Amino acid sequence: MKGSFILEGAARLLLPWLVALSLVTFYRGHHLPGGGFIGGLLAASGFALIALGAGEGAARRALRVDPVGLMTCGLTVALVAALAGLFRGGGLLAGLWLPVWSLPLIGDVHLGTPMLFDFGVYLTVAGFALQVIFSLLEDAA
């Protein structure tokens, strides 16, 4: 399926912005509304626009990894984050934290297993959404 050249051009311009917005939403959502689920959907929407404008093949080339691989990596990251607390003597999904960093433009950065779990959700949702979109476009062709 090939869309319009206007949509293709707009999608290529919007993709970096949508991916950046998805990462900001992921990070911000760790403490406020948003997080891995919404961030993953935003990331997938950028590649979905490319798929609609230039075709499924162009979107797969822009993604550079297989969506199933993204899902597998995301589930693995989430599982490691969930089990990390058990290995440190706590419970399942117990939060483990690194020391707080202070960065000039961002402020205090809190890194820990809850954020790692959210990142696993981000990758899993992005991979799943893209796999569904690519499958639908493949069937339509």
Domain locations along the chain: 5-140
| Tens of pLDDT, residues 76-99 | 999 999 999 888 888 888 888 888
Considering the entire predicted model, what is its pTM? 0.88
The C-alpha R_g of the chain, in whole angstroms, comes to 17
CB environment 9-37: b (16+ within 10 A), e (fewer): eebbebbeebbebbeebbbebbeeebbbb
Task: Report the alpha-carbon distance of residue 36 to residue 66 in Å, rounded.
Answer: 19
| Tens of pLDDT, residues 110-133 | 788 888 999 999 999 999 999 999
Containing 94, the helix (H) or strand (E) segment is none
Q: Quick check: helix, strand or coil at residue 112?
A: strand
